[in-house]
Structures are given as structure tokens and as C-alpha cells.
Amino acid sequence: MPKEEIITLKDVAKYYQLGSELIKAVDGVDITINKGDFVAIVGPSGSGKSTTMNMVGALDIPSKGSIYLDKINIAHLHESELAQIRGRKIGFVFQTFNLVPTLTASENVMLPMVFQGVPLRERKIRATALLEKIGLGHRLDHLPSELSGGERQRVAISRALANDPEVILADEPTGNLDSKRGEEVIEMFNKLSKEGKTIILVTHDNEMAKHADKIYKLKDGKIVNGKK
């Protein structure tokens, strides 16, 4: 039985005017991602991969083209509508972890649930379960400064899963980790994909990208090849 499409980009472009010059950060990209896929978007700095991720993640809107998320064209929605979609459907993982330094591991994971109106008791139960699942049940009350880089990224992944989103967008998630910890993070994404989550990994690291089911390579804002 064929997989159902969850994200489709059709002729998507993002242009910026810099003085008299038109910068084509993304220039006519077509991508199809199915539910449960583990997809890597690969390219060097300046290739347009992070801009593409921001548009897929409803953090930015395209200059032209259509972006369908669960059959809804999000390309020209208002910011309030985009914020709701981000909160419900998408979890983000970043290279720099982006944890709140004054909050414990558990509180960091609970934070996205606050904005979705989840009651405190349920927030605590869900955060504890997520952290225990990744082997950090003994670190619930530790601040980010008391955790290793690998542990901080695992907390960040748990936070991304807090509202049970359909899609996880990971922007260079292994960039600040050594190779062993990086492999552990990628293995977590593999496992989440097998559980039905859709994973989009944005990276310049071809070795990490090889773990994905499908790879899209970007250069100068265009896809130069997409392969399984």
C-alpha cells in the first residue's frame, strides 16, 4: 500500500532583494515527502537548505510556489495560522539545542505544551515519559549546563516530540556533537521514523545523510538530484 503524502513543495522559491541584486536563496524546488519518511536535505552553506526548511516548517513563506502540509497550502497563511500549525504538527530540533538555560530538562520539554494549553499534571507526566524513553529519567531536574552535549540534544528531541507532532524538522542536529553522539541522535531519528514520524534532516554532512531513506541535494537554491 503506497504511503500518503504529508509534505509537497511545488515550484517553491524564496527571493531577497539586496540593493539592486536579486538573491535567489531557493529557486524552483519540487519535493514530495510521505508520512513516515526519513528525508535528508543536503548541501553546502548557502545552498538554500535552511531556507527550504524554514518554509517547510511554516517559519517563513515563499516568494512563489505552493507548500502543502497535510493537503493544506501553507504558503500564504497568516502568521497566527502558521503559529497554530507549527505548534500542532511540527517539532523542531536545532544544532545549538536552543534549550532555556534557567529551566530544567523536564521544564524545557514541558514548554511547548504550555502554548497548546495542556494541563500541568499532563505536561509533567508526558515530559517524564519522553525523557525516560531516551534514557534521561535520572536527569529530569538538571539544568542544561549540567548536561553533556549529547544529553542536551536528546532533551531537545524530547521537547520537539512534546505535542506529538507528525513532522520533525532537524537543522544540523549533529553539528555540535562528536561522531559517536551524532550517530546516537541519527539512530533516534531512525527509530522515530519506524514509529511513524516523518523526519526531515537538514545537513551538510553526507555521512549522516546516508542514514535517510531519501536524499535531496541542493546547490545554489536548486535540487541537483533526489535519490533513495
Domain ranges of the chain: 36-61+78-227
pLDDT at 174: 87
Q: What is the largest CA-CA distance in the chain?
A: 56
pTM: 0.89
Q: What is the DSSP string of 104-156?
A: -HHHHHHHHHHHTT--HHHHHHHHHHHHHHTT-GGGTT--GGGS-HHHHHHHH
Report yes or no: 191 and 201 within 8 Å, Cβ to Cβ: no
pLDDT at 227: 55
The C-alpha atoms of residue 207 and residue 188 are separated, in whole angstroms, by: 16
pLDDT at 1: 59
The C-alpha atoms of residue 228 and residue 213 are separated, in whole angstroms, by: 6
pLDDT at 207: 86
Per-position pLDDT tens, the chain of length 228: 567 899 999 999 999 998 899 999 999 999 999 999 999 999 988 899 989 999 999 888 999 999 999 888 998 888 888 888 888 899 999 888 899 999 999 999 999 999 889 999 999 999 999 999 989 999 999 999 999 999 999 999 999 999 999 999 999 888 888 888 888 889 999 999 999 999 999 998 888 899 999 999 999 999 987 654
Kindly tell me the burial class for residue 142, based on how many C-beta atoms sit within 10 Å of its own C-beta (0-12, 13-18, 19 or more). Answer: middle
The CB density around residue 64, as the number of other CB atoms within 10 Å, is 14
pLDDT at 92: 93
The single-letter DSSP state of residue 51 is H
Q: For residue 56, what are the CA distances in angstroms to 35, 168, 169, 182?
A: 14, 11, 9, 24
Q: Order of strands across the sheet with 90-94?
A: 90-94, 167-171, 198-203, 38-42, 214-219, 222-227
pLDDT at 77: 87
Q: How is domain 36-61+78-227 classified at the CATH fold level?
A: Rossmann fold (3.40.50)
Kindly tell me the burial class for residue 78, based on how many C-beta atoms sit within 10 Å of its own C-beta (0-12, 13-18, 19 or more). Answer: exposed
The CB density around residue 224, as the number of other CB atoms within 10 Å, is 12
The CB density around residue 133, as the number of other CB atoms within 10 Å, is 14
pLDDT at 84: 85
pLDDT at 226: 60
